[in-house]
């Protein structure tokens, strides 16, 4: 088990997140809440399908909207993954196509030390539950930058926004699970390092 705890406290949010990358034999789990019901559902899916254990204590200015909370959560989760993967000999690359009913999403990523996001997903409604659908991009952007991951996410097709969002998050989870798998030997890089 690889585990770290990251805290971030601002006037907008207070976050304490403990994250573990589990072995293939273990079951992923999510405890706590970000304060946004639908995104808690997505975090649970990411942990279960990615084989991660996440314990989240968080408050945010949800009286404004979900922006500060979900962006800051992306920052904290990205920092946790950076701490857990920095300098490690990992599979590095991950690819997943995940369907949910009529929706199909793809995630391709590289734990590269080179932060970048390509996000190609559209939603027909501005909200799913109380969550602004525009916040998916903001969350994943914050994660990619602070995890130093190259992240390509696409909803290839679909009609139902819930299905599109869930297939997207599960694709992210499976690709990240592949990329985090340890390998023997040196870091997989022709440069000999994944540091900038």
Q: At what angle do helices 37-50 and 161-179 cross, to 10 degrees?
A: 40
The pLDDT value given to residue 1: 57
What CATH number is given for 2-179 in this structure?
Answer: 3.30.230.40
CB atoms within 10 A of CB 113: 21
**Res 187 pLDDT > 70:** no
- As a whole number, the mean pLDDT across the chain is 94
Interval 27-54 mean pLDDT:
98
Task: Please state, in angstroms and rounded to a whole number, the distance separating the CA atoms of residues 21 and 10.
Answer: 27
The pLDDT value given to residue 35: 97
The band of 185, judged by pLDDT with boundaries at 50, 70 and 90, is confident
Interval 58-85 mean pLDDT:
96
The pLDDT value given to residue 188: 54
* Dihedral angle computed from the Cα positions of residues 124, 127, 128 and 129, in that order, rounded to the nearest 10 degrees: -150
Contact by Cβ (8 Å): 180, 90: yes
The pLDDT value given to residue 166: 98
Interval 63-91 mean pLDDT:
95
Which of 45, 30, 24 has its CA nearest to residue 178?
24
Task: Please state, in angstroms and rounded to a whole number, the distance separating the CA atoms of residues 93 and 181.
Answer: 9
Q: Which two tokens stand for residue 2?
A: 């690889």
The pLDDT value given to residue 192: 56
Q: What is the pTM of this model?
A: 0.93
Tens digit of each residue's pLDDT (9 = 90 or more) over 135-181 = 999 999 999 999 999 999 999 999 999 999 999 999 999 999 999 99
Ranges of each domain in the chain: 2-179
**Res 97 pLDDT > 90:** yes
The band of 111, judged by pLDDT with boundaries at 50, 70 and 90, is very high
The one-character DSSP state at 196 is: -
The pLDDT value given to residue 196: 57
């Amino acid at each position: 088990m690889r585990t770290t705890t990251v805290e971030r406290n601002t006037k907008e949010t207070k976050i304490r997140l403990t994250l573990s990358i589990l072995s293939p034999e273990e079951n992923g789990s999510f405890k706590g809440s970000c304060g946004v019901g639908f995104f808690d559902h997505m975090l649970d899916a990411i942990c279960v399908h990615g084989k991660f254990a996440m314990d989240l204590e968080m408050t945010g200015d949800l009286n404004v909207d979900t922006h500060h909370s979900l962006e800051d959560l992306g920052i904290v989760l990205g920092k946790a993954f950076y701490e857990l993967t920095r300098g490690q000999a990992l599979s590095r690359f991950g690819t997943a196509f995940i369907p949910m009913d009529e929706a199909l999403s793809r995630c391709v990523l590289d734990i590269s030390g080179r932060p970048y996001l390509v996000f190609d997903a559209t939603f027909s409604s501005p909200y799913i539950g109380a969550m602004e659908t525009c916040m998916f991009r903001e969350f994943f952007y914050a994660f990619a930058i602070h995890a130093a991951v190259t992240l390509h996410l696409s909803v290839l097709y679909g009609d139902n926004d819930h299905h599109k969002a869930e297939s997207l998050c599960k694709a992210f989870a499976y690709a990240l699970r592949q990329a985090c798998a340890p390998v023997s030997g040196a870091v997989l890089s022709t440069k000999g390092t994944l540091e900038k």
